[in-house]
Amino acid sequence: MMLSLLEAEEEAVSEQNGGLTLEELVRRLEAMERENAELRGEVATLKGSGTPGEEPTVRRGPRRLARR
């Protein structure tokens, strides 16, 4: 049985993406976009809350002087 060009293309895409169909990939992408939007909203809320620790603290150990 010969595959149509579209079926062959979908099969190739499925193989490249761990066996997922285009529809499954679309659903996953939409779910990830919703989650991303929620997380961006949470970050914006936290940045605007005025709570301490808005900026990440970079901890550094003691500096060592190079000996010559």
**How does pLDDT run along the chain (68 residues), one tens digit per residue?**
566 877 777 777 767 778 888 899 899 999 999 999 999 999 999 988 876 655 555 566 666 666 65
- Do the domain assignments include residue 39? yes
Half-sphere exposure of 13 (CA within 13 A, CB side): 13
Q: Note whether 45 and 38 are within 8 A (CB).
A: no
What per-residue confidence (pLDDT) applies to 6? 77
What are the tokens at 17?
């993406």
Number of domains in the chain: 1
- Do the domain assignments include residue 60? no
- Do the domain assignments include residue 24? yes
Its domain, for residue 20, covers 11-48
Q: What is the pTM of this model?
A: 0.48
Cα 29 vs. chain centroid, distance in angstroms? 10
